[in-house]
């Protein structure tokens, strides 16, 4: 019987094949209490598991070939950092010693505790880092059982299936395979890289989970967050993965199969056609040059962004450098090397580095109880957090200013609202620069910019324009705060509406005011990578978009088809409407 389950679409394309089930370790953990004289043995078992994982990850990292996705090495580094971090091991030791949990129970109990801390984060990207921690713990559990991989990678491709060929094959003996798992770590995916898995489905994960990042980099159709996948799909079932719709179809009928075979062929043709746009200048029909930039999370993301056709980085989220370190922040030298790496990867193109967007909802300070903050999204976060810790903030500023000596850098500040915050921020930039001068350390010139991501900033945009060289509209938070919708809360997620007239009018006002001031403005939220929004944003006057690299060519196609002279009047009609989405559909 044909049925479908739904998850989160993270990597485009359609895969059709037979299901291979990956075993899950933590779901099968046995819970029991040990005797006091068994404490040392249980701690040793965990230590052995951790050491085995460290050795395995280091070996995988050392064996990375030149054709490995750029994202894999830093992701393996993150997992190495997590498995060696004291926040995991000290808690496990405590649970074994004080509560007499068996080793596996202590590991999963500590994992749950840390995951709750991640769940309380407001930032989606940082919240998704809990999946990395889960993957690391699963790996330790597997090694404690003497199993290094959740599923054996195929020795070779089935007959008749070549690398990159994922079409439906009539002969079932030659059918591609799709992987169904609770979750997959970057290391697991690396082991599967030479296999014939046409796509994969995981029960957990989010749009910015590392599983999703690697899937996009490897161009494998994938759906994550399909929570019932492991329970409802059986080994050897025929499965269709629709990576664009976030849908997984099990036991499809012949008619449905034929329909998806046709879609698969059409998508391949479309992707081949889009790939030819990579080196085409992004210019509208009426001659407007549009800047298409990449959002990146890791210092090593630059080459992939260049390969995707980006002409620079519009948003480098530096939070990744600070997370998962047990509250310890990276020093100036470590940050400097990371920012310099990002610049080197972009080969001379500009990189916009956003200062730390972290705070009350992030695990930097584990000493605070989790309910210390009444509402983390409205509390001490982003620039507020940085201004509350000027030493930490100046360290980051010095590192960025030093990196700017190696290439063009734009320095971006998140969540400013008050003019007092603006003045304080700029004073600290000057102080950091002075500190470098006193040390005779080279530094570069930077443009200064502000994120417009809360209504207060959008409504006072002219004040911001007095102080900053450029603005960047963070539409994800702007929508959240304008509509008072927690985008992570499933109970109200249906009210999260990018087409709400209030949101569109704020975006339009910021674009128009910035252009009138003769300054630059970019949109770096999800709205920039949504083809349904491209014509509207062009009509409102936007000329700079920053998005996930995989979305660049599709947006470029929309740009090449657009005539901004014709879009201006239409865009005004859209934002004046009570139902902008309805106008867009006409």
Concatenating the DSSP letter of every residue in 268-295 gives: HHHHHHHHTTTTS--B-TTS-B-EEEEE
- Overall average pLDDT of the 189-197 stretch: 62
Q: How much of the chain exceeds pLDDT 70, in percent?
A: 84
**Contacts of 214 by beta carbon, 8 Å cutoff, 6+ apart:** 69, 71, 72, 75, 186, 189
In this structure, are 449 and 558 located in the same domain?
Answer: yes
State the pLDDT confidence band at 153, using cuts at 50, 70 and 90. very low
Residue 29 has what pLDDT? 72
In this structure, are 285 and 236 located in the same domain?
Answer: no
Contact 539, 570 (CB under 8 A): yes
**CA atoms within a 13 Å half-sphere pointing along the CA-CB vector of 15:** 30
In this structure, are 422 and 507 located in the same domain?
Answer: yes
Assess if residue 438 is contained within a domain: yes
Catalytic residues: 210, 524
pLDDT tens-place string over residues 296-334: 878 888 888 998 899 999 999 898 788 666 667 899 999
In this structure, are 321 and 434 located in the same domain?
Answer: yes
Residue 155 has what pLDDT? 40
In this structure, are 387 and 522 located in the same domain?
Answer: yes
Residue 490 has what pLDDT? 54
Residue 562 has what pLDDT? 97
Assess if residue 466 is contained within a domain: yes
Q: How much of the chain exceeds pLDDT 90, in percent?
A: 44
Assess if residue 32 is contained within a domain: no
Residue with the bigger pLDDT between 144 and 448: it is 448
pLDDT tens-place string over residues 98-122: 888 889 888 888 887 788 777 777 6
Entry pTM: 0.68
Residue 565 has what pLDDT? 95
Q: Which residues are annotated as a binding site for phosphoenolpyruvate?
A: 317, 354, 476-477, 487
Residue 487 has what pLDDT? 64
**Contacts of 204 by beta carbon, 8 Å cutoff, 6+ apart:** 131, 134, 182, 183, 224, 225, 227
In this structure, are 68 and 196 located in the same domain?
Answer: no
Assess if residue 431 is contained within a domain: yes
Q: Mean pLDDT for the chain?
A: 84
Q: How far is CA 404 from the centre of its chain?
A: 25
Assess if residue 163 is contained within a domain: no
Question: CATH code at 9?
Answer: 3.50.30.10
SS (H, E, C) 401-417: HHHHHHCCEEEEECCCC
Please say which residue of 145, 161, 195 terminates a domain.
Answer: 145
Number of separate domains in the chain? 3
CA 130 vs CA 137, 159, 201, 225: distances in Å: 11, 39, 18, 13
In this structure, are 323 and 193 located in the same domain?
Answer: no
In this structure, are 334 and 247 located in the same domain?
Answer: no
Handedness of CA 560, 566, 568, 570 (dihedral sign): negative
State the pLDDT confidence band at 177, using cuts at 50, 70 and 90. confident
**Direct distance between the N- and C-terminal alpha carbons of the chain, in angstroms, rounded to an integer:** 38
State the pLDDT confidence band at 83, using cuts at 50, 70 and 90. confident
Domain span at 80:
38-145
Assess if residue 126 is contained within a domain: yes
Contact 134, 40 (CB under 8 A): no
| DSSP-assigned beta bridge partners for residue 6 | 247
Question: CATH code at 118?
Answer: 1.10.274.10
Contact 118, 488 (CB under 8 A): no
Residue with the bigger pLDDT between 510 and 144: it is 510
Strands 313-317 and 177-181, bridge-based pairing: unpaired
Assess if residue 167 is contained within a domain: no
**In 3D, which of 131, 124, 121, 117 has the Cα closest to residue 211?**
131
Residue 110 has what pLDDT? 84
State the pLDDT confidence band at 135, using cuts at 50, 70 and 90. confident
Assess if residue 150 is contained within a domain: no
Q: Which residues are annotated as a binding site?
A: 317, 354, 453, 476-477, 487
In this structure, are 68 and 111 located in the same domain?
Answer: yes
In this structure, are 478 and 576 located in the same domain?
Answer: yes
In this structure, are 309 and 185 located in the same domain?
Answer: no
In this structure, are 515 and 388 located in the same domain?
Answer: yes
Side by side, the strands of the sheet bearing 197-202 are 3-6, 247-250, 238-242, 14-21, 177-181, 197-202, 222-224, 8-11
């Amino acid at each position: 019987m044909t049925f479908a389950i739904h998850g989160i679409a993270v990597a485009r394309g359609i895969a059709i094949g037979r299901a291979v089930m990956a075993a899950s370790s933590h779901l099968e953990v046995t819970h029991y209490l040990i005797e006091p004289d068994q404490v040392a043995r249980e701690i040793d078992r965990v230590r052995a598991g951790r050491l085995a994982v460290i050795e395995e990850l280091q070996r995988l990292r050392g064996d990375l070939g030149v054709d490995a996705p750029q994202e894999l090495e830093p992701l393996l580094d993150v997992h190495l950092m997590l498995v060696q971090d004291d926040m995991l091991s000290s808690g496990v030791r405590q649970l074994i010693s004080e509560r007499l949990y068996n080793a596996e129970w202590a590991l999963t109990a500590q994992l749950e505790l840390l995951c709750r801390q991640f769940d309380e984060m407001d930032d989606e990207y940082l919240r998704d880092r809990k999946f990395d921690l889960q993957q690391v713990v699963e790996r330790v559990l597997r090694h404690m059982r003497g199993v290094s991989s959740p599923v054996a990678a195929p020795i070779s491709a089935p007959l008749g299936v070549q690398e990159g060929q994922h079409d439906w094959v009539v002969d079932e003996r030659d059918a591609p395979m799709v992987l169904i798992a609770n979750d997959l770590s970057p290391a697991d995916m690396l082991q599967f890289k030479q296999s014939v898995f046409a796509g994969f489905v995981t029960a957990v994960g989010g749009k910015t989970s590392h599983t999703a990042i690697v899937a996009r980099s490897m161009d494998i159709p994938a759906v994550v967050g399909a929570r019932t996948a492991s329970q409802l799909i059986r080994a050897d079932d025929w499965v269709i993965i629709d990576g664009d719709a976030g849908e997984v179809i099990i036991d499809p009928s012949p008619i449905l199969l034929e329909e998806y075979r046709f879609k698969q062929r059409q998508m391949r043709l479309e992707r081949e056609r889009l790939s030819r746009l990579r080196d085409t200048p992004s210019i509208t029909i009426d001659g407007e040059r549009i800047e298409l930039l990449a959002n990146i999370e890791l210092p090593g993301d630059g080459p992939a962004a260049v390969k995707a056709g980006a002409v620079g980085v519009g948003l480098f989220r530096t939070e990744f450098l600070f997370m998962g370190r047990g509250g310890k922040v990276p020093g100036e030298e470590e940050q400097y090397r990371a920012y310099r790496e990002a610049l080197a990867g972009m080969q001379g193109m500009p990189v916009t580095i956003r200062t730390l967007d972290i705070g009350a909802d992030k695990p930097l300070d584990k000493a605070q109880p989790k309910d210390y903050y009444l509402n983390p999204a409205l509390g001490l976060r982003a620039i507020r957090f940085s201004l509350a810790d000027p030493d930490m903030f100046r360290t980051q500023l010095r590192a960025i200013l030093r990196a700017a000596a190696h290439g063009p850098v734009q320095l971006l500040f998140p969540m400013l609202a008050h003019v007092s915050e603006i003045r304080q921020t700029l004073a600290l930039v000057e102080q950091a620069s002075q500190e470098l001068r006193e040390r005779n350390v080279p530094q570069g010139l930077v443009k200064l910019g502000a994120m417009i991501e809360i209504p207060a900033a959008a409504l006072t945009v002219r004040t911001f324009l007095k102080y900053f060289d450029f603005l960047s509209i963070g539409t994800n938070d702007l929508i959240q705060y304008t509509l008072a919708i927690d985008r992570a809360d499933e109970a109200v997620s249906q009210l999260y509406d990018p087409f709400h007239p209030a949101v569109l009018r704020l975006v339009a006002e910021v674009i128009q005011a910035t252009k009138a001031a003769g300054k630059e403005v970019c949109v770096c939220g999800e709205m920039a990578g949504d083809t349904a929004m491209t014509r509207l944003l062009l009509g409102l006057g936007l000329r700079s978009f920053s998005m996930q690299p995989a979305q660049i060519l599709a947006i470029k196609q929309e740009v090449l088809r657009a005539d901004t002279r014709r879009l201006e009047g239409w865009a005004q009609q859209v934002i004046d409407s009570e139902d902008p989405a309805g106008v867009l559909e006409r």
